[in-house]
Amino acid sequence: MSKNDYILEAQGIHKTYRLGIAEVSVLKGADLAAKKGEFVAIVGASGSGKSTLLHILGALDKPDNGSVRFEGRDLGKMGGGELNRYRNKMVGFVFQFYHLLDELSVLENVVLPAMVSAGVVGWIMGRGNAKKRGLELLEQVGLKDRASHKPYQLSGGERQRTAIARALMNEPKLLLADEPTGNLDSATGNGILELLERLNRAGQTIVMVTHDERVARRAGRIITLADGKVK
Protein backbone atom coordinates (compact mmCIF):
# COMPACT_ATOMS: atom_id res chain seq x y z
CA MET A 1 0.00 0.00 0.00
CA SER A 2 1.46 3.35 -0.98
CA LYS A 3 1.90 6.09 1.54
CA ASN A 4 -0.51 8.38 -0.32
CA ASP A 5 -3.47 6.25 0.54
CA TYR A 6 -3.43 7.74 4.03
CA ILE A 7 -5.58 10.81 4.24
CA LEU A 8 -4.56 11.40 7.83
CA GLU A 9 -1.34 10.50 9.61
CA ALA A 10 -0.48 11.39 13.16
CA GLN A 11 2.93 10.49 14.50
CA GLY A 12 4.41 10.67 17.96
CA ILE A 13 1.75 12.99 19.37
CA HIS A 14 2.61 14.28 22.83
CA LYS A 15 0.34 16.41 24.93
CA THR A 16 0.92 17.46 28.51
CA TYR A 17 -1.34 19.70 30.55
CA ARG A 18 0.34 21.81 33.15
CA LEU A 19 -1.63 23.04 36.08
CA GLY A 20 0.79 24.93 38.25
CA ILE A 21 3.43 22.43 39.26
CA ALA A 22 1.21 19.42 38.54
CA GLU A 23 1.69 17.92 35.10
CA VAL A 24 -0.71 15.57 33.39
CA SER A 25 0.82 13.77 30.45
CA VAL A 26 -2.22 12.76 28.46
CA LEU A 27 -0.66 11.69 25.18
CA LYS A 28 2.80 10.17 25.11
CA GLY A 29 3.62 9.48 21.51
CA ALA A 30 0.32 8.41 20.04
CA ASP A 31 0.39 7.32 16.37
CA LEU A 32 -2.63 7.06 14.16
CA ALA A 33 -3.30 6.77 10.48
CA ALA A 34 -6.51 6.62 8.52
CA LYS A 35 -6.87 5.64 4.90
CA LYS A 36 -9.20 7.40 2.54
CA GLY A 37 -12.69 5.96 2.95
CA GLU A 38 -11.88 4.25 6.23
CA PHE A 39 -14.12 4.16 9.32
CA VAL A 40 -11.87 4.16 12.39
CA ALA A 41 -13.05 3.96 15.98
CA ILE A 42 -10.86 5.12 18.87
CA VAL A 43 -11.72 3.47 22.16
CA GLY A 44 -10.26 3.93 25.59
CA ALA A 45 -11.12 4.54 29.18
CA SER A 46 -12.53 7.84 30.30
CA GLY A 47 -9.75 10.34 30.66
CA SER A 48 -7.41 8.38 28.43
CA GLY A 49 -7.07 11.34 26.06
CA LYS A 50 -9.43 10.40 23.24
CA SER A 51 -10.97 13.86 22.98
CA THR A 52 -7.55 15.46 23.25
CA LEU A 53 -6.25 13.40 20.35
CA LEU A 54 -9.29 14.15 18.22
CA HIS A 55 -8.96 17.90 18.88
CA ILE A 56 -5.37 17.75 17.70
CA LEU A 57 -6.41 15.90 14.55
CA GLY A 58 -9.03 18.58 13.89
CA ALA A 59 -6.47 21.41 14.38
CA LEU A 60 -8.48 22.69 17.32
CA ASP A 61 -5.46 22.17 19.55
CA LYS A 62 -1.73 21.88 19.05
CA PRO A 63 0.38 18.92 20.10
CA ASP A 64 3.46 19.62 22.23
CA ASN A 65 5.36 17.26 20.02
CA GLY A 66 4.71 15.16 16.96
CA SER A 67 3.11 15.88 13.64
CA VAL A 68 -0.29 15.60 12.02
CA ARG A 69 -0.39 15.27 8.24
CA PHE A 70 -3.51 15.69 6.21
CA GLU A 71 -3.18 14.48 2.63
CA GLY A 72 0.56 14.63 3.14
CA ARG A 73 0.62 18.22 4.42
CA ASP A 74 1.84 18.99 7.92
CA LEU A 75 -0.74 20.90 9.96
CA GLY A 76 2.04 22.29 12.13
CA LYS A 77 3.49 24.09 9.11
CA MET A 78 0.21 25.64 7.99
CA GLY A 79 -0.43 29.35 8.48
CA GLY A 80 -3.48 30.75 10.25
CA GLY A 81 -5.48 31.20 7.05
CA GLU A 82 -4.73 27.67 5.88
CA LEU A 83 -5.72 26.23 9.24
CA ASN A 84 -9.00 28.13 9.11
CA ARG A 85 -9.62 26.66 5.66
CA TYR A 86 -8.70 23.21 6.96
CA ARG A 87 -11.21 23.47 9.81
CA ASN A 88 -13.84 24.91 7.53
CA LYS A 89 -13.57 22.71 4.43
CA MET A 90 -11.46 19.61 5.10
CA VAL A 91 -12.75 18.34 8.41
CA GLY A 92 -16.10 18.23 10.05
CA PHE A 93 -15.97 18.08 13.81
CA VAL A 94 -18.69 16.70 16.08
CA PHE A 95 -18.04 17.77 19.68
CA GLN A 96 -18.75 15.60 22.66
CA PHE A 97 -20.74 18.52 24.08
CA TYR A 98 -22.31 19.62 20.76
CA HIS A 99 -21.35 23.31 21.01
CA LEU A 100 -24.15 24.93 19.06
CA LEU A 101 -24.79 28.69 18.93
CA ASP A 102 -27.88 29.54 20.97
CA GLU A 103 -28.70 32.67 18.98
CA LEU A 104 -29.06 30.76 15.73
CA SER A 105 -31.82 28.37 14.69
CA VAL A 106 -31.10 24.70 14.11
CA LEU A 107 -30.92 25.24 10.35
CA GLU A 108 -28.67 28.27 10.74
CA ASN A 109 -26.36 26.28 12.97
CA VAL A 110 -26.18 23.59 10.31
CA VAL A 111 -25.33 26.01 7.50
CA LEU A 112 -22.88 28.00 9.68
CA PRO A 113 -19.73 26.49 8.09
CA ALA A 114 -20.99 27.55 4.65
CA MET A 115 -21.83 30.99 5.99
CA VAL A 116 -18.39 31.42 7.52
CA SER A 117 -16.57 30.67 4.29
CA ALA A 118 -18.83 32.84 2.13
CA GLY A 119 -18.52 36.61 1.91
CA VAL A 120 -21.58 38.82 2.02
CA VAL A 121 -22.15 38.61 -1.73
CA GLY A 122 -21.26 34.94 -1.86
CA TRP A 123 -23.73 34.19 0.89
CA ILE A 124 -26.57 36.12 -0.72
CA MET A 125 -25.93 34.28 -4.00
CA GLY A 126 -25.46 30.85 -2.50
CA ARG A 127 -27.93 31.08 0.35
CA GLY A 128 -30.63 29.09 -1.43
CA ASN A 129 -28.35 26.15 -2.15
CA ALA A 130 -26.88 26.18 1.34
CA LYS A 131 -30.30 26.13 2.93
CA LYS A 132 -31.37 23.31 0.64
CA ARG A 133 -28.35 21.24 1.64
CA GLY A 134 -28.89 22.11 5.30
CA LEU A 135 -32.47 20.86 5.13
CA GLU A 136 -31.34 17.66 3.37
CA LEU A 137 -28.84 17.03 6.15
CA LEU A 138 -31.47 17.69 8.80
CA GLU A 139 -33.73 15.22 7.04
CA GLN A 140 -30.96 12.63 7.14
CA VAL A 141 -30.59 13.08 10.90
CA GLY A 142 -34.36 13.15 11.36
CA LEU A 143 -34.74 16.77 12.41
CA LYS A 144 -36.30 18.35 9.36
CA ASP A 145 -39.33 19.60 11.26
CA ARG A 146 -37.16 21.24 13.92
CA ALA A 147 -35.24 23.43 11.47
CA SER A 148 -36.52 26.72 12.86
CA HIS A 149 -36.20 25.77 16.51
CA LYS A 150 -33.49 27.04 18.78
CA PRO A 151 -30.83 24.63 20.13
CA TYR A 152 -32.04 25.05 23.71
CA GLN A 153 -35.45 23.75 22.65
CA LEU A 154 -33.88 20.43 21.62
CA SER A 155 -33.03 17.38 23.64
CA GLY A 156 -29.41 16.34 24.07
CA GLY A 157 -29.63 13.72 21.35
CA GLU A 158 -31.27 16.14 18.97
CA ARG A 159 -28.51 18.66 19.58
CA GLN A 160 -25.95 15.98 18.84
CA ARG A 161 -27.64 15.17 15.57
CA THR A 162 -27.70 18.88 14.71
CA ALA A 163 -23.96 18.98 15.42
CA ILE A 164 -23.43 16.04 13.06
CA ALA A 165 -25.42 17.77 10.33
CA ARG A 166 -23.28 20.89 10.82
CA ALA A 167 -20.09 18.86 10.57
CA LEU A 168 -21.21 17.45 7.23
CA MET A 169 -22.32 20.80 5.79
CA ASN A 170 -19.22 21.61 3.75
CA GLU A 171 -18.79 18.00 2.57
CA PRO A 172 -15.54 17.52 4.47
CA LYS A 173 -13.08 14.86 3.40
CA LEU A 174 -12.72 13.79 6.99
CA LEU A 175 -15.36 13.52 9.68
CA LEU A 176 -14.14 13.59 13.28
CA ALA A 177 -16.82 12.59 15.76
CA ASP A 178 -16.36 12.66 19.53
CA GLU A 179 -18.86 10.26 21.12
CA PRO A 180 -21.56 10.85 18.51
CA THR A 181 -23.87 8.39 20.20
CA GLY A 182 -22.88 9.17 23.77
CA ASN A 183 -26.16 10.77 24.75
CA LEU A 184 -28.54 8.74 22.66
CA ASP A 185 -30.76 5.79 23.45
CA SER A 186 -29.78 2.65 21.59
CA ALA A 187 -32.44 3.06 18.90
CA THR A 188 -31.50 6.64 18.05
CA GLY A 189 -27.81 5.84 18.47
CA ASN A 190 -28.30 3.04 16.02
CA GLY A 191 -29.85 5.47 13.59
CA ILE A 192 -26.79 7.73 13.83
CA LEU A 193 -24.44 4.78 13.37
CA GLU A 194 -26.40 3.71 10.33
CA LEU A 195 -26.07 7.24 9.00
CA LEU A 196 -22.32 7.12 9.56
CA GLU A 197 -22.09 3.72 7.90
CA ARG A 198 -24.08 5.00 4.96
CA LEU A 199 -21.78 8.00 4.66
CA ASN A 200 -18.78 5.71 4.93
CA ARG A 201 -20.09 3.45 2.19
CA ALA A 202 -20.42 6.55 0.02
CA GLY A 203 -16.69 7.17 0.57
CA GLN A 204 -16.64 9.37 3.69
CA THR A 205 -13.57 8.94 5.89
CA ILE A 206 -14.60 8.86 9.54
CA VAL A 207 -12.64 8.86 12.78
CA MET A 208 -14.94 8.30 15.71
CA VAL A 209 -14.24 8.34 19.43
CA THR A 210 -16.30 6.12 21.70
CA HIS A 211 -15.99 4.29 24.96
CA ASP A 212 -18.62 1.76 23.95
CA GLU A 213 -17.18 -1.46 22.48
CA ARG A 214 -20.46 -2.30 20.75
CA VAL A 215 -20.48 1.02 18.98
CA ALA A 216 -16.82 0.65 18.08
CA ARG A 217 -17.51 -2.72 16.45
CA ARG A 218 -19.61 -0.98 13.80
CA ALA A 219 -16.44 0.72 12.53
CA GLY A 220 -14.06 -0.88 10.11
CA ARG A 221 -11.08 -0.69 12.44
CA ILE A 222 -10.70 -0.21 16.18
CA ILE A 223 -7.79 1.61 17.82
CA THR A 224 -7.32 1.44 21.55
CA LEU A 225 -5.86 4.36 23.44
CA ALA A 226 -4.20 3.53 26.74
CA ASP A 227 -1.39 5.12 28.70
CA GLY A 228 -1.17 7.90 26.15
CA LYS A 229 -0.36 5.52 23.33
CA VAL A 230 -2.19 3.59 20.68
CA LYS A 231 -2.18 -0.13 21.36
Partner 1 sequence: MYKLILAIRYLYRRRVSYFALIAVALCVFIVVVVMTVMSGLVGEFREKNHSFTGDCVVGTESLVGFTYYEDFLRKLESTDCVEAASAVIKSYALVGKVGSQRNMGVEIIGIDAATYGRATGFGGTLHYHKDDVSRAFKPTAVVRQAHHLDANLPGFVVGVDMWIWRDEKGEYYFAPNPEATAVTITCFPLTARGALAKAGTDLVNTKTFYFSDTSHSGIARVDGSVIYAPFEDAQALCGMKEPIARASWIHIKFKPMVGIDKGCGKVRKLWGTFYEQNKDKPNGELLAQVKVQGWKEHRREFIAAMEKEQVMLTVMFGLVGLTTIFIVFVVFYMIVSHKTKDIGILKSVGASGCDVVELFLGFAAGLGVIGSAVGIAFGLWFLRDINAIEDWLFERFGFQLWDRTIYAIGEIPHRADLTMMLVVAGCAVLACVAGAALPSVRAAKERPVETLQVSQI
Q: Which residues bind partner 1 (CB under 8 A)?
A: 55, 58, 60-62, 80-81, 84-89, 93, 95, 99-101, 103-104, 108, 112-113, 115-120, 122-124, 166
Give the residue closest to ligand ATP by C-beta.
51
Dihedrals φ, ψ of 2, to 5°? -80, 155
- Position 51 contacts ligand ATP (CB under 6 A): yes
Nearest approach, Cβ of residue 153 and ligand ATP (Å): 26
Residues in touch with Mg ion (CB under 5 A): 51, 96
Closer of 115 and 135 to partner 1 (Cβ): 115
Applying CB under 6 A, the site for ligand ATP has a residue count of 14
Nearest approach, Cβ of residue 156 and ligand ATP (Å): 15
Report the residue from 4, 5, 24, 185 that binds ligand ATP according to the rule CB under 6 A.
24
Report the residue from 52, 162, 188, 205 that binds ligand ATP according to the rule CB under 6 A.
52
> Helices then strands (H, E): number in the chain?
7, 10
Hey, which bits of the chain come out as E strands? 6-19, 22-35, 39-44, 65-70, 73-74, 91-94, 174-178, 205-209, 221-226, 229-230
Radius of gyration of the chain (CA): 18
Cα torsion 193, 195, 198, 200: sign: negative
Which residues are within 8 A (CB) of 38 and not within 5 positions of it... i.e. 6 or more apart? 205, 206, 220, 221
Give the residue closest to Mg ion by C-beta.
51
Interface ranges with ligand ATP (CB under 6 A): 17, 19, 24, 26, 44, 46-52, 96, 211
